[in-house]
Chain A
Amino acid sequence: MTDELVEGVRAGKRRAIARTISLVEDCGAEAQATLAALHPHTGQAHIIGVTGPPGSGKSTLVNALALHFRKETAEGGSRTVGIIAVDPTSPFSGGAILGDRIRMRDLAGDRGIFIRSMASRGNLGGLAWATADAVKVLDAAGYDLVIVETVGAGQAEVDIARTAHTTVVVEVPGLGDDVQAIKAGILEIADVFAVNKADLEGADHAVMALRMMLDLDAGGGQTVMHHGRLMEVVTAAQQAPDKAGEVPVWRPPIHKTVATRREGIAALADAILAHRAHLEGSGSLARRERERAAAELETIIQQEALRHVLARTDRVQLAVLIDQIVQRQVDPYTASQDLMASLGLS
């Protein structure tokens, strides 16, 4: 079964790809064996994350981007695109409604595109536990680009930055003031910004607020708040050319888009590809790959360690410890230490 699936995925057979993704979603020993066989064939695709608040137009933007990447352009030929769209699982029933395909109907019938909807299955952080593994399946199947659309994310769902090479953060006009823009979290992970629904009032303000945030990062200050309005100031530093020999710094570009009318899509797509080129040119790609492998390994070790500890822990002993914590006889840190000590792990 495993060999057949692996062969099918490598040959780009859609049924095999779909079944393998189900397998990794449901975990288990077979999933691990399949992923192990696919691992050497991964690492080719450009993984693009698309994240942003609910209703910001992520699915429509992914639809427009995929259509664009399928076209032959001056910069290069058409690219095949795998898409993983994550929607939330109900915390009450464990069920989910996955509706991202509704906005991607333009992509139907194109054999160069594979779309998979995925429920978050209780994972926080904007992705499902199995999203990174599903990306590997599409990568090994030979898709040039893999686009991952996260759950509608607020401020702290930043897992995508660990999965993607290039993270696109989608903003829309009118969501918040310029202090929202300097808070920690989702805005920090952007490699490229899309201000979608840019035909709505406030689009320019949203762009300026983002630009001000980026200026603070750079220690500059070209965009300033003056009498309650954001204004641009041209400074000498901004006009000075970069010093030769310095490692180039990537400043996330900000693109206005109207995804429903496919406006601004070409420029956004170019920025995404330029970011990948920057990663390759600056040596950041290798560093990011290493960080990603480290994070992935750490997560797997955590899960495995937890499984081992729980497997070796007496259920009654665990229940007694929990009771003691509830009755304030012991604190959870001490309880955990005692448990580890009893297993010889401290």
Chain B
Amino acid sequence: MTEKKIRVLVAKPGLDGHDRGAKVIARALRDAGMEVIYTGIRQTPEMIAEAALQEDVDVVGMSILSGAHMALFPKVMELLHEYGMDDVLIVAGGIIPDEDVPALNEMGIRGIFGPGTPTDQIVEFIRENVS
């Protein structure tokens, strides 16, 4: 019948108007056999955490270009913690300066993938790190 699939929420927090990058990732994860829930642009941290909760995802991937990551990511992490979802793998991508990476890692965001990352690398990282 069916077997366990990796479920991934691909989310666009903040006010970015473009989501081509997120769509490329969603497509690559689909082609790697994962179930990708894509919720579209302009998501609030509350919407992202709620979708992660209801969809019972193994992974949340957030893509942000606007520079608001240090404001929005902590809020998402806080809500996921509140919902008891500490076992979910969190990855991020988009435009994230190197100097912010340590702080994001500290927050529990385990993989950070900038522009030009081969999609295979992201697929590999998710497969290896999903508990």
Contact = CB atoms under 8 A, between A and B. Distances in A.
Interface of A: 14-15, 17-19, 21-22, 25-27, 89-90, 92-99, 101-102, 105, 108-109, 114-117, 119, 121-122, 128-130, 303
Contacts of B33: 93-95
A108 B46 contact: yes
A-B residue pairs, 10 tightest by C-beta: A95-B30, A18-B56, A102-B40, A94-B33, A108-B47, A22-B56, A95-B33, A101-B39, A98-B37, A121-B2
B46 to A, nearest CB: 6
Kindly name the residue among B35, B38, B83, B84 whose own CB sees the greatest number of chain A CB atoms within 10 A: B35
Kindly name the residue among A99, A117, A122, A303 whose own CB sees the greatest number of chain B CB atoms within 10 A: A117
Contacts of A96: 30, 35-36
Interface residues of B, number: 33
A319 to B, nearest CB: 23
Contacts of A26: 2-5
Contacts of A129: 1-2
A27 B34 contact: no
Contacts of A119: 5, 35
Contacts of B38: 97-99, 101-102
23 contacts: A15-B83, A18-B55, A18-B56, A19-B56, A22-B7, A90-B30, A92-B31, A93-B31, A95-B32, A95-B33, A96-B35, A98-B36, A98-B38, A101-B40, A101-B51, A105-B43, A109-B46, A109-B50, A115-B54, A121-B2, A121-B5, A122-B2, A129-B2
B27 interface: yes
B53 interface: yes
A94 B38 CA distance: 17
Contacts of B96: none
Contacts of B50: 108-109
Interface string B14-32: 0000000000001101111
B30 A27 contact: no
Nearest to B6: A95
Interface of B: 1-5, 7, 26-27, 29-40, 43-44, 46-47, 50-51, 53-56, 83-85
Given A26-B2, A102-B40, A129-B2, A97 B53 contact: no
Contact of B35 (A27, A95, A109): A95
Nearest to B39: A101
A14 B83 CA distance: 9
Nearest to A108: B47
A95 B34 contact: yes
A130 to B, nearest CB: 7
Given A97-B30, A98-B38, A116 B53 contact: no
B46 A102 contact: no
B42 to A, nearest CB: 8
Given A94-B33, A97-B38, A99-B38, A18 B2 contact: no
Contacts of B36: 95-98
A35 B29 CA distance: 31
B32 to A, nearest CB: 6
Contacts of B32: 93, 95
Contact of B30 (A25, A93, A122): A93
Contacts of A122: 2
Contacts of A17: 54
Contacts of B2: 25-27, 121-122, 128-130
Contacts of B27: 97
A116 B27 CA distance: 20
Contacts of A18: 53-56
A91 B31 CA distance: 10
Given A97-B36, A119-B5, A105 B55 contact: no
Kindly name the residue among A14, A15, A94 whose own CB sees the greatest number of chain B CB atoms within 10 A: A94
B72 to A, nearest CB: 15
Contacts of A27: 1-2
B56 A21 contact: yes
A102 B41 CA distance: 8
Contacts of A121: 2, 5
A87 to B, nearest CB: 9
A17 B84 CA distance: 14
A109 B39 CA distance: 14
